[in-house]
Chain A
């Protein structure tokens, strides 16, 4: 084995140890990357790079959409959009058996359309939908499982921060990625709804229908949600049809959500301050970890670790599809241990060189999109699986009388439906590639 590769692998081992020791992942990446490059090429190159590496990283234009999306999500969480969404969904679907849970799923998807964070989606929708589900005596495992699972819908429904990061990592077009994510997002909603239908059929008393509502109430709820749909239409429609780039689109979104909250009198100065500070925390965290990932990438590329991995797996004689499944399983396992953002930043620089060498009968651009969507779905599964299912923790903190094990049990059918979705997309890449080719992304 070459000398560089040994240093690269040793660096990787150090990083894993640092992460296990609870050192912030960004710091670990920066340290290992910095020391590694110094070990390979001497300090001069690294020190000279550091002069403007941070500024160059922070001022990548594609990244500027991230603080916008984060701010939009934080404003939306505090503006009470979730109430309108849930009320409307409940008016449309609540009459069915299990309908209140289905409404929660649809509302989660709707909220995911203005907020890119799974956790925020779970916690915001949880606050609104959990009391309703309890009121109708939904089985606790179904009620909590639905809400924890509903949160993961956020990742594939634009605006999604992790999607942007993936696109930057593999140099894919962000707009194309957004388009590609749309159909899989809809599929997830449909599969979740089917899951609930099956659940209430197997356990007949687990999810009763809600009380009947009057016609005026129905229309009131329907009209109430129109502004939210309008905001989503402006932002996503504008991006899809090429009216504007993601960053201005997100800026318009921030403007509209903020304006809506202000008109409805739902936003106090204190709310605004905390929405700003939350944005500061998330943005700073994301940008620093991106800097770390860049430094690590420089080091790993010089050490030749990704290429070595690609050679080993490529020369293993395994079918490309087997390697793909193997990597996705790896992501599921790692996703159980780490948050999805760090996971994508750590794993994709290693996995992508492996994938790009394999023949799936499609060109590189399509492969980027297809693999990206699959990877994003599976890393997000870590949010609803033990040991650190963050979405489950969030819902558990709200539903104090429901044991954690019950929530994990309630999530299981949704986890199964996610696996179905992954298999569907593996078998039919067209599900992902259809919309981008239609809209000419």
Chain B
């Protein structure tokens, strides 16, 4: 019994860790934007030769990074809610409401996965590209759709282990930091 439980924990820990790494990957995308924008603004300031297309690359990469952050936000209950009206509610009630939120997230992320995929196909057919660098926009949709699917996974995990879960594997896997 204990063994099967710890095996289950191991199984649940894997996606949790992956989602954390995926968010850190998003940070790396952001870091690329930081370096690019810094170099571009310095060369633009000194030699009046900014990096061509930095504007549209920033747009695209920041959007991709934001998508990559969504699963981690779900997992860590980072989405703000107003808890003033339920501050006196019991843990059971809070767990129930947290589960309702996860259900919403599951249905919405699934809808977005399918719609964004349809969007990807549209962008492929009409081959829309960015203005200067001519990068096909659908490229950005690939990590976006994967991130949205991962959001569904995260929401399933938070459905099983809602807020106020005692010994939640989410906490155990991610650790606490201030």
Chain A residues within 8 Å of B, Cβ to Cβ:
19-27, 30-31, 34, 47, 50-52, 54-55, 58-61, 63-64, 67-68, 71, 243-244, 247-249, 251-252, 254-255, 273-274, 276-277, 279-285, 287-289, 337-339, 341-342, 387-388
Given contacts A27-B108, A243-B45, A251-B38, is CB(A284)–CB(B84) below 8 Å?
no
Distance in angstroms from B98 CB to nearest chain A CB is 8
Q: Is the CB of B72 within 8 A of A23?
A: no
Q: Which residues of A contact B35 (CB under 8 A)?
A: 251, 255
Interface residues in B122-140 by Cβ distance below 8 A to A read 122-123, 137, 140
Q: Which residues of A contact B104 (CB under 8 A)?
A: 23, 27, 30-31
**How would you classify the secondary structure of chain A's contact residues: helix, strand, loop or mixed?**
helix
Q: Is the CB of A55 within 8 A of B119?
A: yes
Q: Which residues of A contact B112 (CB under 8 A)?
A: 50, 54
Query: Looking at the complex, which one of A25, A47, A248, A277 makes contact with B115 (CB distance below 8 Å)?
Result: A47
Distance in angstroms from A20 CB to nearest chain B CB is 4
Bound-state CA distance A58–B24 (Å) is 18
- Nearest CB in chain B to that of A249: its residue: B41
Given contacts A23-B97, A30-B108, A252-B41, is CB(A289)–CB(B26) below 8 Å?
no
Bound-state CA distance A388–B89 (Å) is 16
**Interface: B53 (CB within 8 A):** no
Given contacts A274-B177, A281-B73, is CB(A23)–CB(B100) below 8 Å?
yes
Q: Is the CB of A280 within 8 A of B72?
A: yes
Q: Is the CB of B44 within 8 A of A288?
A: no
**Interface: B69 (CB within 8 A):** yes
Q: Is the CB of A244 within 8 A of B45?
A: yes
Q: Which residues of B contact A60 (CB under 8 A)?
A: 59
Q: Is the CB of B40 within 8 A of A19?
A: no
> Chain B, interface size: which category?
35 or more
Interface residues in B12-61 by Cβ distance below 8 A to A read 20, 23-24, 26-27, 30, 33-38, 40-42, 44-45, 54-55, 58-60
Distance in angstroms from A243 CB to nearest chain B CB is 6
Q: Is the CB of B119 within 8 A of A51?
A: yes
**Interface: B157 (CB within 8 A):** no
A-B contact pairs, 25 of them (CB 8 A): A22-B101, A31-B108, A47-B115, A50-B119, A51-B116, A51-B119, A54-B67, A54-B144, A68-B30, A247-B58, A248-B37, A251-B33, A251-B36, A251-B37, A252-B37, A255-B35, A277-B24, A280-B24, A280-B68, A280-B69, A281-B72, A284-B66, A288-B73, A337-B82, A342-B82
**Interface: B159 (CB within 8 A):** no
Q: Is the CB of B63 within 8 A of A59?
A: yes
Q: Is the CB of B101 within 8 A of A287?
A: no
Distance in angstroms from B27 CB to nearest chain A CB is 4
Distance in angstroms from A435 CB to nearest chain B CB is 23
Distance in angstroms from B91 CB to nearest chain A CB is 12
Q: Which residues of A contact B38 (CB under 8 A)?
A: 248, 251-252, 254-255
Distance in angstroms from A267 CB to nearest chain B CB is 14
Given contacts A64-B59, A67-B62, A244-B45, is CB(A51)–CB(B81) below 8 Å?
no
20 more CB-based (< 8 A) A-B contacts, given A21-B97, A276-B24, A284-B70: A24-B80, A24-B101, A27-B105, A31-B108, A52-B116, A55-B137, A58-B66, A59-B62, A60-B59, A68-B33, A71-B34, A254-B34, A276-B27, A277-B20, A277-B23, A277-B72, A281-B78, A285-B73, A338-B82, A388-B83
Q: Which residues of B contact A339 (CB under 8 A)?
A: 80, 82
Total contacts A to B, CB within 8 angstroms? 189
- Nearest CB in chain A to that of B26: its residue: A280
Bound-state CA distance A21–B99 (Å) is 12
**Interface: B76 (CB within 8 A):** yes
Query: Looking at the complex, which one of B60, B84, B111, B118 makes contact with A59 (CB distance below 8 Å)?
Result: B60
Given contacts A21-B86, A55-B116, A64-B59, is CB(A273)–CB(B78) below 8 Å?
no
Given contacts A51-B119, A281-B76, A284-B73, is CB(A58)–CB(B67) below 8 Å?
yes
Bound-state CA distance A50–B102 (Å) is 20
A-B residue pairs, 6 tightest by C-beta: A51-B119, A284-B69, A251-B37, A24-B79, A284-B73, A276-B27
Q: Is the CB of B84 within 8 A of A388?
A: yes
Query: Looking at the complex, which one of B69, B78, B101 makes contact with A23 (CB distance below 8 Å)?
Result: B101
Bound-state CA distance A22–B105 (Å) is 14
Distance in angstroms from A414 CB to nearest chain B CB is 22
Given contacts A24-B101, A244-B41, is CB(A55)–CB(B144) below 8 Å?
yes
